[in-house]
Amino acid sequence: MKPRILFLLLSAFFITSAYAQSTFVINGDCKQMKDGDKVYLTYKANKKIILDSTLVKNRKFRFTGTIAEPVKAGVYHNENPMLIEYTKGSISLYLEAGNIFIKSKDTLNNATVGGTSLNRDMQLFQDKSAVLKETAAKYKDPDFFTEEEKNDTAFVRINEENGLINMHNRIILELAFAREHPESQVSLELIAKNSWQKKFINETEAVYIVLSDSMKNTALGLTIKENINRARRIGPGMEAKDFTMYDMYGKAVSLSSYKGQYVLLDFWASWCLPCRAEHPNLIAAYEKYKQAGFTILSVSIDTNRESWLKAVEKDRLTWTQISDLKGEKGEAYLLYGITTIPANYLIGPDGKIIAQDIKGTMLATTLEKVLSNK
């Protein structure tokens, strides 16, 4: 190819790319921020995490940049989100073409966003969910329980129960909002989040159906459809699907070998903190009902054998543990359409699924109901 032709083609490419970019501006005004405070902005572009920062002056801060398409972003006060797991002061917003504002009488935690269509939609949702947020604040996240609180069964129970109630109410609110705003990317992302929850897949699919075609045909919209299809593969009332894997000692174990017993088919991994946090509940259930025809079969989706075995030993899991060490490409993981862990299925002696994703107090009450006469 002649150099001049190549130059013209490359020039056209870069001009096209430049036109594809949109400029965003964020103007923040938070009354309790101080001069010299640092504000961070982070988002994903071209499969890379972008981190920007600026300083506060006269309680104000400003960011400018370009993006190819609207993207979710986070703004953080005096905390670099790349260096810490939990942040104390932050707010989410959408980067899109136009002038975006962040305003607060104090700090980012109580700020409002607006100025562009997606940010107006997101703020509308935040306003609608404010009551749920206040309710959730009254109870403690299990991730932050002290050792003393973990040993207080009444405290743990009431926090778990109210956490489940609040989660359920939030899902209802999110899906109702999405139904009312079928053209919004905010709705698309709310539906996507819930499409990973198999327990609410019927409600999620009903709202997904009313989304605009432009939303359904996005990459995220297609992911939602895939999650719905995966969740439909198996559920309560259906026959459990048989499979065979090897246990920690190299022995082949088939799910069908448990026929005649109540078995909790449990999916977990050593790196999954919620899975590990659920293990005390599984141990309690196993010890209470193992003489009543109940057992547990745990499937690890680890890929590292040593990590798997260490976690089994550390958590003192005494029932059968199996894995093919293929992670999310594992036979059972795909066969059961698992989307998130921990996940489980309670299977009856006849091989049919009784319940799915029962954890914490729900696990205890379900087993009590099913096995009380055993």
Tokens standing for 236? Answer: 């309560």
Q: In whole angstroms, what is the distance from residue 73 CA to residue 52 CA?
A: 11
318 to 67, 142, 279, 309, 367: CA distances (angstroms): 52, 24, 11, 12, 19
Is pLDDT above 50 for 275?
yes
Q: How many CA atoms lie within 13 A of 296 on its CB side?
A: 24
- Residues 63-80: tens digit of each pLDDT: 999 999 999 999 999 999
Is pLDDT above 60 for 7?
no
Is pLDDT above 70 for 2?
no
- Residues 295-353: tens digit of each pLDDT: 999 999 999 999 999 999 999 999 999 999 999 999 999 999 888 899 999 999 999 99
Q: Can you give the pLDDT at residue 249? A: 95
Q: What are phi and psi of 343, to 5 degrees?
A: -140, 150
Chain mean pLDDT for the chain:
89
Tokens standing for 227? Answer: 């999650």
- Residue 317: name the closest of 364, 268, 263, 254 by CA: 268
Q: Can you give the pLDDT at residue 196? A: 83
In order of their start, the domains of the chain are 3-114 (2.60.40), 135-231 (no CATH), 244-371 (3.40.30.10)
Q: Can you give the pLDDT at residue 140? A: 75
Mean of pLDDT values over 280-287:
95
Residue type, 341: I
Residues in Cβ contact with 184 at an 8 Å cutoff, skipping those fewer than 6 apart? 118, 121, 178, 215
Using the structure block, give the residue that is written with the tokens 């609410």.
200
Q: In whole angstroms, what is the distance from residue 360 CA to residue 277 CA?
A: 10
Q: In whole angstroms, what is the distance from residue 130 CA to residue 3 CA?
A: 61
Mean of pLDDT values over 96-103:
96
Q: Can you give the pLDDT at residue 202? A: 87
Using the structure block, give the residue that is written with the tokens 């299990």.
142
Q: In whole angstroms, what is the distance from residue 43 CA to residue 112 CA?
A: 19
Is pLDDT above 90 for 157?
no
Q: Are the C-beta atoms of 307 and 325 separated by less than 8 Å?
A: no
Q: Can you give the pLDDT at residue 248? A: 95
Residues in Cβ contact with 31 at an 8 Å cutoff, skipping those fewer than 6 apart? 59, 104, 105, 106
Q: In whole angstroms, what is the distance from residue 79 CA to residue 84 CA?
A: 8
Q: Kindly compute the dihedral angle of the four CA atoms of residues 145, 150, 153, 156, in this order, to the nearest 10 degrees.
A: 20
Is pLDDT above 90 for 9?
no
Is pLDDT above 70 for 189?
yes
- Residues 10-66: tens digit of each pLDDT: 444 444 444 468 999 999 999 999 999 999 999 999 889 999 999 999 999 999 999
Q: Can you give the pLDDT at residue 179? A: 95
